[in-house]
Structure 1
């Protein structure tokens, strides 16, 4: 079973919340990086539309984390989760716990940054798999400011397939279980995911 994050499990605007958290944590250098990114994102948006703006802005915002340690990133995303607690979809949290008790395999699947999703699941006490957009680090564990593949649209399906195949290989998932798939999601970009799964829940 996959669960979307933005607009589904988390009903607020994570972009807006990241801005608010950054306002309390970022210095001038980090804000200058974000500002340059906004200019590039605006240009991309004019040519390619709203989704291109969001993608470009997302990458620019990630660059502001360059040079941060795991501990510093954890502190930032813990703060972000606390600030957005009122927007957590509590009813869906309870449904996920029911699926956990039934032994279902659950993935939080989102284009949001993986450290954010990890902080979120820790805060709400969910023991689930996470597929998100990775913040990359160098050999010393210091954030480079770069991100991996943006988990959006068709990429969600690609990564779920990879996850399922890996779990089947190591014996954690049976073929029967893999053939019964659910998705909780609410976005137009989740149409490929809805086409992939058996049961679609909004």
Structure 2
């Protein structure tokens, strides 16, 4: 559970680690990477849809962050900054014609296998449906849902990561969740009652 004290200790610890990393302490940088690598990878995977590409982008995002660390304001939380770099790297990755053509060759192979309701728990099936529905939304909708709902970033942290105003995050999230609800109701009518809540 995150109490104000544990959050403060974690923030102070991260601030100290950033300062140490800025002074060239590789161990401090490795600790920061470990703290944030899952979130960075997940965002890259959400935006790219391929685990190998997401790993490459995540690695490149950390390299770029390391190179720019001396310009980072250590009074800010690190995660939104890293996610902003990751997001930009994903867009750069997509622009690459070579990788785009390779992705077209893999298209369809990334679709998860249909869930067998008899073999899976209902909760696991619903989670799979939710993930599929989110993946079918526009990229901007995926980003705001992922950052706010999956990573549970604050509105301010999400705004920083997306380079928009906090009010924009709130309105985008509201519209994105409405589109998600409509998609689920349309494609999976048996879940209509679940999404209405």
Normalised-by-shorter TM-score class: 0.3 to 0.5
Which of the pair is proportionally richer in helix? 2
| Structure number having the greater strand percentage | 1
The structure with the larger Rg is 2
What is the TM-score of this pair, normalised by structure 2? 0.35
The structure with higher relative contact order (CA 8 Å, sep 6+) is 1
